[in-house]
Chain A
Amino acid sequence: MLGRNKHQKPPMTARIERPLSPHIQTYRWTLTMALSIVHRATGIALYVGTLLLAWWLIAAASGPAAYAHVQAFSGSIIGRLIVFGYTWALMHHMLSGIRHFVWDLGYGFKANEREALTWGALIGGIVLTVLVWIIAYAIGGGR
């Protein structure tokens, strides 16, 4: 639009400059917005993480040597961090997904309801992850 001669009609083929809808940076950040992105990010992480699950199952089917490799990796500090992160991504994505099921059924759209659901998924995901790891250490450490 800048520099266009106001006295001249634009040719019919000219691209009409229409207002664009504001992009994401324009909006005030809300919890549901941030968690929508986290839902996607955890989904992508879980997608890549299926390689680890496939590796683990194939190793179990292959034999003791292959399985020892997986155990050496999952027992290392980096391995434990990755599996811990994977546990959180899985728990969070599941609870966040349940939140989506509630919305799909037409409930929980009021401001306080959607905030409560989102906080529930966020806190619940962390609590479940810690709980699973406490049980895992209690069981795995005993063997």
Chain B
Amino acid sequence: MSATDTPKRSMRTPLGRVRNLGAAHSGTSDFWRQRITGVAMTLLMIPVVVIVMMLLGRNQAGAAQILGSLPIAVILLLFIAASAWHMKIGMQVVIEDYVHNEKLKLIAIMLNNFFSVAVALASTYAILKLSSGV
């Protein structure tokens, strides 16, 4: 829906149309979530690096024991969720900037969603499996 769909009698100014949900009718939620997840990962970076350091040079049994502990599992789950969301939004921005063919763009955005969700779910499943000790 572009500005040309607006009735000619409308008293709304261009600024008024752009405010609130804006031209894309979805608002600035992606912009805001990109910041939330970015801040979250910045805060989690030191704990995550420490966890990776703890795992260096250990065999599977040692790694599984560390990854299965509650605080470490929670930190990694938070990091996985934040990074999957962050990278989904970021890649969508890149696609929207460079892919100009409408159908290709929709396909690329769909694949981006599939990839991000698949990586997030696979990683989450691994952490949960390690936590439950199955």
Contact = CB atoms under 8 A, between A and B. Distances in A.
Contacts of A141: 57
B56 A136 contact: yes
Interface residues on A, range: 20 to 34
B123 A139 contact: no
B60 A57 contact: no
B30 to A, nearest CB: 14
Given A47-B87, A98-B42, A54 B56 contact: no
A60 B64 CA distance: 6
A58 B94 CA distance: 29
Nearest to B88: A47
Given A46-B87, A94-B45, A101-B38, A57 B59 contact: no
B61 interface: yes
B62 to A, nearest CB: 9
Contacts, number: 84
A73 B107 CA distance: 33
Nearest to A63: B60
Contact of A50 (B83, B125, B129): B83
Contacts of A44: 91, 94
Interface in A78-123: 94, 97-98, 100-101, 104
A18 interface: no
B53 A139 contact: yes
Interface in B82-134: 83-84, 87, 90-91, 94, 119, 122-123, 125-127, 129-130
21 contacts: A40-B94, A43-B87, A46-B83, A53-B123, A54-B119, A54-B122, A54-B123, A54-B126, A57-B123, A57-B127, A57-B130, A58-B122, A58-B123, A59-B60, A61-B127, A64-B61, A66-B60, A68-B60, A94-B45, A98-B42, A143-B58
Interface of B: 35, 38-39, 41-42, 45, 49, 52-53, 56-61, 63-64, 67, 76, 83-84, 87, 90-91, 94, 119, 122-123, 125-127, 129-130
